[in-house]
Amino acid sequence: MSEVPAVRVDLSGVRRRLDGAQGRTYWKSLEELAGTPEFLDFLHREFPSQASEFADPKGRREFLTLMGASLALAGLTACTKQPEEKIVPYVQPPEQAVPGKPLFFATAMLDRGYAKGILVESHLGRPTKIEGNPDHPASLGATDISGQAWVLGLYDPDRAQTLTYRGEIRAWTDFMGALRNALGAQKPRQGVGVRILTEAVTSPTLAAQVREVLAELPAAKWHQWEPMGGASMAARPAVGRPASVQYHFDRADVILSLEADFVVDGPASLRYAREYTARRKRPGAQAMNRLYAVESTPTLTGAIADHRLPLRPSEMEGFARAVAGAVGGGAAAPAPSGATGEWLAAVARDLKAHAGRSLVIAGDYQSPAVHGLAHEINQFLGNVGQTVVYGAPVEAQPVDPLASLAELAADMKAGRVDVLVVLGANPVYSAPADLDFAAAMERVKLRVHLGLYADETAALSHWHIPQAHPLEAWSDARAYDGTTTILQPLIAPLYDSARSAHELLAALTSKPDRKGHDIVKDFWRAQFGGDFDARWRRSLHDGVVAGWTAPAGVAAPSASGDPTTAPRPTAPASSAPGTLEIVFRPDPTIGDGRYANLGWLQELPKPITKLTWDNAALVSPATAQRLSLENGEVVELRYRGRTVKAPVWTLPGQPDDTVTVHLGYGRTRAGRVGDGAGFDANRIRTSDAPWNGTGLEIAKTGETRALACAQDHWSIDENAEPRHLIRSVTVDEYVKEPEAIKEQAENPPRDMTLYPNVKYAGHAWGMSIDLNSCVGCSACVVACVAENNIPVVGREQVAKGREMHWIRVDRYFSGAPQHSETIRAHFQPLPCMQCENAPCEQVCPVAATVHSDEGLNDQVYNRCIGTRYCSNNCPYKVRRFNFLLYQDWNTPTLKLQRNPDVSVRSRGVMEKCTYCVQRIEQARITAHNEGRPIRDGEIQTACQSVCPTQAIVFGDVNDPGSAVSKLKAEHRDYALLGELNTRPRTTYLAEVKNPNPELAGPAAGGGEHHG
């Protein structure tokens, strides 16, 4: 797509609209507030730039040629006979394999080395879909976005497929010969030149193997590099040594997050999100918790908090110190003055009032000092042992990953490394720039890289060995609390030369050529002792190893770890206003870049910015105005003598004078999907301040980059009148006036309609979405993509508003854009509403969208001729049209991922959510075959089953005892655009905040902005 001019947002216009009678409480973008032509275009044209295909002369010629041909053949297509098909049965059927019935196997996905339990759906040996493992403590039946995309990673056609030496294909035996030679030379020298670089290791088997290598080569060294890791080290200031920290949000009444994005980020996020929202499910009827979030870049935790305070990163430690002073633990520190000071005092009083039932949690990207202070506050409030529990570290050998990598880089530069074996990591891309890892690699005589992709590190290695995907290989891993899972393969490796880390490590020992299965099984044979087979089978079946659930020994905070006595670094002086600070964070969807080639995650709008396919330099509206920056304008970021070019994106809620850049983009050897997307923020990142720093300069370049942002897509028109799409009240207001939520908009009587009043005698499917539980993580979107064979359309098509997601998560802001502390975000997942009076059905000329007897709004693909009238008439804008042939019909591996129970749609067909009707029908058939009715909860839609917070509940609204009926009976249930009397089957539960009554000022956010 050609570069388009950057969007200029007139902030004074924004202010006028906010102040005036037209002022909007909830808005999706600054463009909406300013009423820019671009926004109005998205709003009023159901199909933005539908004719743009013809603007391109080549496309137009092609179109005419095709049209000529298709006119000649029109009408004849229906006369073809079906081509003959073959049936290929088994020769010897494997046990339990029933064609047409999927099997589920328990294993785990890895998040920075930690396990999150999953169940993998397998259709005759093809893994197709990931579900959470309800028996696993880090999953509780849910998965995150990368868990859902895990299966796409297996089938990614750009995965490394062959073993190569300097880019040329070689055999495993050639590699073994080279390796044995090099190791043979090292053996007399105790392996002093040998380095093994792994990612964070929780796998007991892998750790034992590394130790085995180190026993044979005592002078060799083991390094670990995990770009987003180091959580075990975070507790070091508290405990005095590496430790695991577990939080119990179910026991916490008051929570202060120091930029801990605990609801989506981290190995325990699924559990924490569940525990946190469980305390907010029945406002009024249960004691709600209260969350204060302090953050230097908008996070989802901050977005859902009751109170949010944006701070520049340099102010974070001072803030934590002041809180510690205010609650009375440790030396008093000067409290900030003004509004922040009042905010802080109120938080401190609230924390003190809930001593023992409060929780202060510091984020993974905070300094050790902040972690120490968080611990100090918890210690003083008596939270340790209650809401915070320290345990032995889960990682086999916890290290500070950055220090470990820096040591390795220094050794390599000094020429002390002869053999480097990299297992999985990609340090050439992900290491901070000052380590100059690429140059250091050049000095190593033998460089071996095992990786899923022939990535940046592979390019600089002599030998590259394709790694077996975790769904193809045996392994094991432990969860945040020490629960151990044995990872079992779902499928034989797709590529013959693929090896697992276990198999490559075995090659370094005196017992090479052992299979991964034998290595893992032998390890556990030694652990289990008697009755091995039964325990092994039980462990594989359950997805957890019984008896290995808790970390060995729980460490109490040691005296030396007491930060009140420990020497404390002085707080860095907050930088003067006007100087820019930079914040580095992993990307919300593709993480540290390892998922850069997964189209599902690239196309998933990032939960807060709603950008797709790109990262950007995020600045606050006020800073953008001060520096006269525009969205999409490419600037040069100059930081510590290094530069990188980045497009600007204005993000309400971002602290002023603070620029956030996300890592993971700017990959050069990620694959066809990931290459060329975004810019590489690692190029200005240094190892002494990996997550934030001061002294950033911004220089204009005059270039622009059109960013594909989905925030204005599928907007519902509120210009004529407010539609009350988001409804948010405080708990006090809710208790006082529970009916007020429903009464925000008109509720016409059911019979005030020209539609026939249909009675649904049998089941009547419905859905309830709890906006108070939704944390905006967007796992539902990826789950829907995986379940329903939804294609990836690419960056240019997203920019035109043609993304195909059947469920979208609308993100609304409230507050004043110039005052970032007033900004709050609200999330609204929006699938098809399954209207009883569906406007789409009346306008279809070919009856391709019709109502089912159970109230589903069916879409019949084989009837659809693509008039798109239905989508024009849909007030919720939930219908998606295949403008082009988005689905990949050719790549063999991608075909393996498809759900066989859902049609694969072609070009020219409208598609939409049908409440996962394939799951409804499967449950119905199973129930009827067993001669019983369908049980409540038996049908789980894909978005429902993945949801970490159980915000989505589906069921039979004709059954008054069903979970969904009970939720719909709540006072905070409301229908979106209910005043149109479309009678949507999907309804929402309004957001109920629990603000501190002391904080009624503008910094309080939440309730005071609703109207």
Partner 1 sequence: MPQTFHRSTNTLSKVSIFGALFLVVGSLFAIAEINRSGYVTQAGVAREQPVPFSHQHHVGGMGVDCRYCHTTVETSATAGIPPTKTCMNCHSQIWNQSPTLEPVRASFRSGQSIEWTRVHDLPDFAYFNHSAHVSKGVGCTTCHGPVDRMPLMWQYSSLQMEWCLDCHRAPEKYVRPKEEVFSVAWQPPPDQIEQGRALVKAYGIQTRTSCSACHR
Smallest gap from Cβ 858 to partner 1, in A, equals: 4
Angle (CA) 147-157-139 rounded to 5° is 5
Q: Any contact of residue 759 with partner 1 (CB under 8 A)?
A: no
Q: Any contact of residue 921 with partner 1 (CB under 8 A)?
A: yes
Buried b (16+ CB within 10 A) or exposed e, 296-328: bbbbbbbbbbbbbbbbbbbbbbbbbbbbbbbbe
Smallest gap from Cβ 365 to partner 1, in A, equals: 44
Q: Any contact of residue 56 with partner 1 (CB under 8 A)?
A: no
Task: Work out the end-to-end distance of the chain between its first and last CA atoms, rounded to an integer number of angstroms.
Answer: 41
Residue 324 phi/psi, 5-degree rounding, is: -60, -40
Q: Any contact of residue 760 with partner 1 (CB under 8 A)?
A: no
Residue 469 phi/psi, 5-degree rounding, is: -65, 150
**Nearer Cβ to partner 1 (435/920):** 920
Smallest gap from Cβ 852 to partner 1, in A, equals: 4
**Nearer Cβ to partner 1 (627/860):** 860
Q: Any contact of residue 902 with partner 1 (CB under 8 A)?
A: yes
**Nearer Cβ to partner 1 (433/856):** 856
Q: Any contact of residue 96 with partner 1 (CB under 8 A)?
A: no
Torsion angle of C-alpha atoms 182, 187, 193, 195, degrees rounded to 10: 80
Smallest gap from Cβ 93 to partner 1, in A, equals: 5
Smallest gap from Cβ 44 to partner 1, in A, equals: 31
DSSP H/E element including 704: strand 692-704
Amino acid at 890: N
Q: Which stretch binds partner 1 (CB under 8 A): 85-93, 246-254, 534-542, 936-944?
A: 85-93
Question: Of the candidates 285, 628, 929, 961, which one interacts with partner 1 according to CB under 8 A?
Answer: 929
Distance CA 555, CA 243 (A): 8
Q: Any contact of residue 959 with partner 1 (CB under 8 A)?
A: no
**Nearer Cβ to partner 1 (12/862):** 862
Q: Any contact of residue 925 with partner 1 (CB under 8 A)?
A: yes
Q: Which stretch binds partner 1 (CB under 8 A): 540-548, 576-584, 709-717, 895-903?
A: 895-903
Pick out residues in 240-299 that bind partner 1 (CB under 8 A).
none
Question: Of the candidates 462, 861, 934, 998, which one interacts with partner 1 according to CB under 8 A?
Answer: 861
Distance CA 583, CA 312 (A): 9
| 3-class state of residue 314 by DSSP | helix
Distance CA 1007, CA 1011 (A): 9
**Nearer Cβ to partner 1 (272/765):** 765
Smallest gap from Cβ 924 to partner 1, in A, equals: 8
**Nearer Cβ to partner 1 (99/641):** 99
DSSP H/E element including 44: helix 37-44
Question: Of the candidates 45, 101, 166, 672, which one interacts with partner 1 according to CB under 8 A?
Answer: 101
**Nearer Cβ to partner 1 (78/559):** 78
Q: Which stretch binds partner 1 (CB under 8 A): 37-45, 244-252, 458-466, 913-921?
A: 913-921
Q: Any contact of residue 940 with partner 1 (CB under 8 A)?
A: no
Q: Cβ(769)–Cβ(860) under 8 Å?
A: no
Question: Of the candidates 12, 58, 85, 331, which one interacts with partner 1 according to CB under 8 A?
Answer: 85
Q: Any contact of residue 84 with partner 1 (CB under 8 A)?
A: yes
**Nearer Cβ to partner 1 (825/840):** 840
Distance CA 511, CA 499 (A): 16
Q: Which stretch binds partner 1 (CB under 8 A): 92-100, 644-652, 960-968, 979-987?
A: 92-100
Q: Where are the beta strands (DSSP E) in 573-616?
A: 580-586, 611-612
**Nearer Cβ to partner 1 (736/928):** 928
**DSSP conformation class of 451:** E
Residue 277 phi/psi, 5-degree rounding, is: -75, -20
Smallest gap from Cβ 477 to partner 1, in A, equals: 34
Q: Any contact of residue 897 with partner 1 (CB under 8 A)?
A: no
Count of residues in contact with partner 1, rule CB under 8 A: 40
Cα distances from 217 to residues 412, 445, 504, in angstroms, run 18, 18, 16
Q: Any contact of residue 89 with partner 1 (CB under 8 A)?
A: yes
Q: Which two tokens stand for residue 931?
A: 């001669």
Q: Which two tokens stand for residue 725?
A: 């799409």
Q: Which stretch binds partner 1 (CB under 8 A): 510-518, 585-593, 772-780, 855-863?
A: 855-863
Q: How many CA atoms lie within 13 A of 203 on its CB side?
A: 30
**Nearer Cβ to partner 1 (890/929):** 929
Q: Cβ(329)–Cβ(376) under 8 Å?
A: yes
**Nearer Cβ to partner 1 (96/628):** 96
Q: Any contact of residue 854 with partner 1 (CB under 8 A)?
A: yes
Q: Any contact of residue 74 with partner 1 (CB under 8 A)?
A: no
Q: Any contact of residue 79 with partner 1 (CB under 8 A)?
A: yes
Question: Of the candidates 53, 630, 858, 973, which one interacts with partner 1 according to CB under 8 A?
Answer: 858
Q: Cβ(609)–Cβ(649) under 8 Å?
A: yes
Q: Closest Cα partner for 263 from 242, 247, 251? A: 247
Q: Closest Cα partner for 914 from 946, 941, 882? A: 941
Smallest gap from Cβ 925 to partner 1, in A, equals: 4
Buried b (16+ CB within 10 A) or exposed e, 887-896: beeeeebbeb
Smallest gap from Cβ 661 to partner 1, in A, equals: 43
Q: Cβ(231)–Cβ(393) under 8 Å?
A: no
Q: Cβ(600)–Cβ(154) under 8 Å?
A: no
Q: Any contact of residue 756 with partner 1 (CB under 8 A)?
A: no
Q: Any contact of residue 918 with partner 1 (CB under 8 A)?
A: yes
Q: Which stretch binds partner 1 (CB under 8 A): 16-24, 372-380, 745-753, 916-924?
A: 916-924
Q: Any contact of residue 850 with partner 1 (CB under 8 A)?
A: yes
Smallest gap from Cβ 766 to partner 1, in A, equals: 16
Smallest gap from Cβ 45 to partner 1, in A, equals: 29
Smallest gap from Cβ 853 to partner 1, in A, equals: 5
Q: Which two tokens stand for residue 394?
A: 């889960």
Q: Any contact of residue 100 with partner 1 (CB under 8 A)?
A: yes
* Burial tier of 867 (Cβ tally within 10 Å: 0-12, 13-18, 19+): middle
Question: Of the candidates 192, 389, 740, 860, which one interacts with partner 1 according to CB under 8 A?
Answer: 860
The set of residues, in sequence order, having a beta carbon less than 8 Å from that of 916 and lying 6+ positions away, is 787, 788, 939, 941, 942
Q: Any contact of residue 845 with partner 1 (CB under 8 A)?
A: no
Q: How many CA atoms lie within 13 A of 204 on its CB side?
A: 20
Q: Where are the beta strands (DSSP E) in 893-966?
A: 910-911, 952-956
Q: Any contact of residue 852 with partner 1 (CB under 8 A)?
A: yes
- Count other Cβ atoms within 10 Å, centred on residue 511: 11
**Nearer Cβ to partner 1 (536/861):** 861
Q: Any contact of residue 890 with partner 1 (CB under 8 A)?
A: no
- Count other Cβ atoms within 10 Å, centred on residue 192: 15
**Nearer Cβ to partner 1 (454/833):** 833
Q: Cβ(232)–Cβ(244) under 8 Å?
A: yes
Q: Any contact of residue 895 with partner 1 (CB under 8 A)?
A: no
Smallest gap from Cβ 430 to partner 1, in A, equals: 42
* Burial tier of 943 (Cβ tally within 10 Å: 0-12, 13-18, 19+): buried
The tokens 């494997």 sit on which residue?
A: 94
Q: Which two tokens stand for residue 796?
A: 């240019």
Which residues of this protein are in contact with partner 1, per CB under 8 A? 79, 81-82, 84-93, 98-101, 762, 850-854, 856, 858, 860-862, 901-904, 914, 917-918, 920-921, 925, 928-929
